[in-house]
Amino acid sequence: MPQHPDSTGQSAPRSTKPRWLAALLFLAAIALPPALYYVLRAFGLSIYLSLVIVAVATGVPAIWSLVRRRTGASIITTYFSLVSLAATLLAFIPGSPQFLMARDAAITAGTGAWFIYSIRTERPIVYTFTRPLIEGRMHWPGNWEVHWKAAPRFRRMWRISTVVWGLGFFLDAGLRSFFAYTINPDIVPALTTAMYLGTNIALIIISNIFYISSGIFNPHSALFATESG
């Protein structure tokens, strides 16, 4: 598959990692924190200490990866590394186990705020995240940057999608905070992990329905009409 130029005109590097391996590593990264938590609890550690150990054990590798890749790291890699850094730092703020469990809500709310703020920047974050993943792989008519610069509806579609993702993260954060303070603490790690998957799957489905209804697969759609046309 040919490489696609990024916004600077340079070709995006092709990933040498097989897709199945990348998916497996992604699922492992999601499953390992709650699995480690329950192993520590089975060995008799307190809820609070278990949560701190999990935060450090999962955060340090991501932080090291960010430091090691000071240059050339993708925005997605940088984002997840910064989230891990925030989770690790929050783990050392004194408070109840419920407060520590609610840290994920604070991070998720911060992510939602970042998404919504990005619609005021040069490129909304959903556009930035999505482009290197699927540009040229789903029969997109033409180059994304060409459409971004020329087609106002194309730009509006990505801004609306970014707001939807931001609001979805705010809703997710509210539910995480509610669960952290109202249910058995030992249920929360598994529940919030399931919420992470559920929220992202739901937002992906909603976004793709929106993209299709906007005419993304129709090269003659008004979505790609230029300002002059």
Give the separation between CA 172 and CA 165, rounded to whole angstroms: 10
pLDDT value of position 66 = 64
Q: Are residues 191 and 145 in the same domain?
A: yes
Confidence band for 70, pLDDT divided at 50, 70 and 90:
low
Distance of CA 171 to the CA centre of its chain: 15
Give the separation between CA 62 and CA 174, rounded to whole angstroms: 26
CA-to-CA dists, residue 177 to 111, 144, 180, 215, angstroms: 15, 38, 5, 37
Domain assignment present for residue 147? The answer is yes
Q: Are residues 162 and 179 in the same domain?
A: yes
Which residue range(s) make up the domain with 206? 96-229
Give the separation between CA 105 and CA 180, rounded to whole angstroms: 9
**Pick from 75, 94, 113: which residue ends a domain?**
94
Overall number of domains in the chain: 2
pTM of the model: 0.79
Report which listed range, 7-16, 98-107, 173-182, is most confident. 173-182
Helical (H) or strand (E) element with 16: none
Q: Are residues 100 and 81 in the same domain?
A: no
Domain assignment present for residue 185? The answer is yes
Q: Are residues 131 and 187 in the same domain?
A: yes
Confidence band for 7, pLDDT divided at 50, 70 and 90:
very low
Give the separation between CA 23 and CA 229, rounded to whole angstroms: 41
- With 70 as the cut, is the pLDDT of residue 161 above it? yes
